Structure 1
């Protein structure tokens, strides 16, 4: 429930891929975990280090309410992907709940807005590290694994593109997850 990379200089209407490419090219760039990946939404390509959901399949958690079960492996993968990405949305919700200045449009100069966003994210992370129980979390449980994100510098990654290898990785992961789920249900 912490931010590991913040790049608040882009407008909200900028294309996701363009913002990601910029984050990968900066001197203090976004580092892709090795081994591992980041979960991204359907606005990004499914490429090395970035695992996207299947397009054209049910995805949102609301699709799985009222006892609806996934029928295909791709639907199951998207359900699990959506559930994991929900943590990201909760983190943004906590940030806005904690810092009222982020809830509305501000009329500060852009340089000051960038500093405000960075300060709020840094303070959020500090609070999450220092408080054993998060007062903004409904269940009051302690978040484990805060701090070490397993990011290695490795090769400098500066382009994200669809790759056959990464698509095969996602497909194999999807089939494995679905097969495991089918044996227990």
Structure 2
């Protein structure tokens, strides 16, 4: 992150995290709070590790980092804006068709299990099918490797399909309150097709939610193979976003050892920072040559 971008971020969060000096001592400055928090997210270290590099006590870190993560999300949440109008949905669909040749697609959906140190007495509440304790980050991404919606906090025992059904997104999708565009004819098609979200086989098939054919069915005909290739190529965008997130924020590379409430704040801060840096520093943050691309000529 170059200094000018850091200064922009500091200006945005300073009104939220600035504290007043007292007659007893000077307050920890917004710059120290923000730099310590970013170091914690990026290195994936513990409060004790960051304490040595920032000269802030471990006890102070315990409330400074969650508070600053909350401030980052509040200051940058406009960078993680859920579409509210038909025009905004159409812009996402056009980008999916242009970039990944999947028509009428409004977003790629998936869940990521984030390893945690479970709270005392939690038992198997957070224990997932992969064999470790986790909470689930459910995300929807556009064709440009950016989040348009995230939900965090559901325990890892629940499947991705079950987690999705608990989200406000799914409730609004069910009650048709998302202002989705009306069906249209994609170029080269004779029939109108609805606008859809796409996910993997863990999700339920709906008229507004598509997924690949099961493996055995997809081998039955060439048209199903082509469909599976197209939907998987567009769907893996959300998996790529999770990959970029884990590559830049090493906090996701080991079990997060803090309360579940604070984990939610940490994850939301990383998600909005991801979108912020994709907008401000696309080439430096996630170089184009490191992302998936195809040779359309051959």
TM range (shorter): 0.5 to 0.7
Alpha-carbon contact 2:164-2:170 (below 8 Å) kept: no
Tell me the distance in 1 between the aligned counterparts of 2:160 and 2:266.
Answer: 22
Q: 1:10 aligns with which of 154, 159, 179?
A: 154
User: 1:151 is matched with which residue?
Assistant: none
Aligned counterpart for 1:34 among listed residues 181, 189, 207: 181
Q: Give 1 or 2: higher strand fraction.
A: 2
Pairing partner for 2:215 from 44, 48, 56: 56
RMSD, aligned α-carbons: 3.0
Cα separation, 1, equivalents of 2:259 and 2:172 = 23
Q: Which residue of 2 aligns with 1:21?
A: 165
Partners in 1 of 2:220 and 2:279 — Cα distance? Answer: 36
- CA contact under 8 A between 2:152 and 2:267: conserved in structure 1? yes
Please state how far the C-alpha of 1:57 moved relative to its aligned partner: 3.9
- Of Structure 1 and Structure 2, the greater helix share is in 2
Unaligned runs of at least 5 residues, structure 1: 60-68, 142-185
5+ long unaligned stretches in structure 2: 1-144, 183-194, 292-298
Question: Which one of 201, 214, 234 corresponds to residue 84 of structure 1?
Answer: 234
What's the CA shift for 1:13? 2.8
Residues 32 and 49, structure 1, Cα contact 8 Å, conserved in 2: no
Structure number with higher relative contact order (C-alpha < 8 Å, ≥ 6 residues apart): 1
1:129 Cα shift?
1.3
Q: Output aligned runs, 1:101-120, within 5 Å.
A: 101-120=251-270
SS of the aligned residue for 1:44 comes to coil
Question: Which residue is 1:160 aligned to?
Answer: none
Kept in 2, the 8 Å contact 1:9–1:114? The answer is yes
Contact 2:277 2:285 in 1 (8 A): no
Displacement, 1:27?
A: 8.7
Distance 2:221 2:217 in 1: 10
Residue 19 of structure 1: CA displacement? 1.3
Residue correspondences, number: 132
Which residue number corresponds to residue 75 of structure 1? 225
1-structure distance, mates of 2:155, 2:274? 22
Tell which structure's C-alpha radius of gyration is larger: 2
Q: CA deviation at 1:26?
A: 8.2
State the shift of 1:107 in Å.
1.3
Contact 1:2/1:91, CA 8 A, preserved across alignment: yes
Q: Partners of 2:220 and 2:260 in 1: how far apart?
A: 44
**Does the CA-based 8 Å contact 1:2-1:128 persist in structure 2?**
yes
What is the alpha-carbon distance in structure 2 between the residues aligned to residue 57 and residue 115 of structure 1? 42
Deviation at 1:25, TM superposition (A): 6.6
Task: Tell me, yes or no, if structure 1 residue 123 matches structure 2 residue 268.
Answer: no
Distance 1:27 1:55 in 2: 26
